[in-house]
Amino acid sequence: MIRDDFHDRLDDLLSQWHWWAKKYIPVPTCGADPMFRNAKSAKGYDTTAEVVDDELTSSQMKTIDFHVGEMKDPYRSAIYVHARNCYTGRNVWLSPRLPSDPMERARILGEAKAMIIGKLLSAGVM
């Protein structure tokens, strides 16, 4: 039961992480005013609680991004594909970096999930 809770929570976090990573823009948009580059709320009308929640979520997503980025292939590829599948709600995305055998892919994904759960538990994200 607890093991399933960890995997369910991981799937939820990976789905959020995939959405967060999709909207990353490496270069600020043209015409952005440097005076507001460190503003905590881009909208200007968020409550303090919303700003704190956004900061916490951003911190969690950066931690997940770091730990997934530190993984070696094929485990990193398995997590990327799994995160995309969790985000879309479909199990259709595959990677050419993963084996074509479904049992072997499932084994690699299981090992990758166990690795990332351990790292996120030690980092305080889960």
For 54-93, the pLDDT digits (tens) are 788 888 999 999 999 999 989 999 999 999 999 988 877 7
Asked if 71 and 116 touch (Cβ cutoff 8 Å), the reply is yes
Measured distance CA(20)–CA(66) in Å, rounded: 13
Asked if 79 and 112 touch (Cβ cutoff 8 Å), the reply is yes
Break the chain into its structural domains and give their ranges: 1-15+73-126
32 token code pair? 């952005």
13 token code pair? 């976090």
| Res. 114: pLDDT tops 60 | yes
Kindly indicate the confidence band of residue 94, based on its pLDDT and cuts at 50, 70 and 90.
confident
pTM attached to this predicted model? 0.74
The per-residue pLDDT for range 32-57, each reduced to its tens digit, is 555 555 555 555 666 777 777 778 88
Picking from 20, 5, 12, 10, the residue whose alpha carbon sits closest to that of residue 116 is 10
